Amino acid sequence: MKKPLRYLAILSIVFISITLINATTYIKQSSSENSSNDTLKNTSENYEIKALKIPDGIHFAGEIVPIEKPDIKERMDRELLVNTYWQSNSLLLIKRAHKYFPIIEPILKKHGIPDDFKYLALIESGLQNVTSPAGARGFWQIMKDTAKENGLEVNSNVDERYHLEKATEVACMYLLHSKELFGSWTLAAAAYNGGNNGIMRRLKSQRVDTYYDLLLGEETGRYVFRIAAIKEIMNNTEKYGFKFDNEDLYNLEATKIVKVDSAITDIALFAQNFGTNYKELKIHNPWLRENKLNNKSRKLYYIKLPQ
């Protein structure tokens, strides 16, 4: 009988230990849940998601967005909401714009294109050298054939769609042609996304003459509204809740130009000889696509290097 009593005593100790552990765990969980609830309470008290008031007189390239029409108001509201409350993306766009708009603005002005078209580049690529599923590339998302038709070099070694200044020039040529075709900057912007032929077919088949009266697919149907929304937000950042100091914005690094009219067999070594490295050279010259420059035609290239 002594052994059963000993086992009973041991079981009692184990039971008491488990009970104490469970009680401690419950207290910790309760404390954690209360703390979490307090955090949620504080968050809900401090953070508000507000409906936005669409300002009167919102326009793109001097052409008024007719928000008095119910469907136009909803579409404008959607883009303002998306870009206001997708805060991280919109703040990145604001920061990048400070870096690259000073390059784009004078080229638009030179060709007589409204300054608002810089926001078209912004929504096309986020001011990054991205590639679309259809193969469009660079800040302005230019297709290969369009690039070549307008004098850009495009091959595996050099792709000038990634050359911001040259690509902006090509974009200007396309936009000027579209404006001449349609007589409207808004339709010219839509055609940059939907194609001149595509927009022309829709106008004829639907028997209308403005972008805002067209029934279009999702992407082109949102296109001008996205441009107008990001323009409105970036011109009134505090109104839409974006707060930052000038030092928070991105700046373009000062560069110098090196003229090259021969082949470069090793761009990494070329960069090193000028006191920089491959990465830095490619950041400033993304149109150089390989670690060499073939240049069989002895073309004159202007390569940017950190100053």
Residue 275 lies in a domain: yes
Task: Tell me if 277 sits within 8 A of 228, measured CB to CB.
Answer: no
Asked if residue 207 and residue 152 are part of one domain, the reply reads: yes
Asked if residue 236 and residue 283 are part of one domain, the reply reads: no
Asked if residue 174 and residue 277 are part of one domain, the reply reads: no
pTM for the structure as a whole:
0.84
Report the amino acid identity of residue 182: F
Full domain range(s) for residue 298: 255-306
Q: Which of 142, 121, 115, 103 is nearest to 226 (CA)?
A: 121
Residue 74 lies in a domain: yes
Asked if residue 242 and residue 110 are part of one domain, the reply reads: yes
Burial 78-87 (b: 16+ CB within 10 A, else e): ebbebbbeee
Each residue's pLDDT tens digit in the chain (307 positions)?
444 445 444 445 544 454 544 544 444 454 444 544 554 454 446 667 888 888 889 999 999 999 999 999 999 999 999 999 999 999 999 999 999 999 999 999 999 999 999 999 999 999 999 999 999 999 999 999 999 999 999 999 999 999 999 999 999 999 999 999 999 999 999 999 999 999 999 999 999 999 999 999 999 999 999 999 999 999 999 999 999 999 999 999 999 999 999 999 999 999 999 999 999 999 999 999 999 999 999 999 999 999 9
Q: C-alpha angle 191/192/193, rounded to 5°?
A: 85
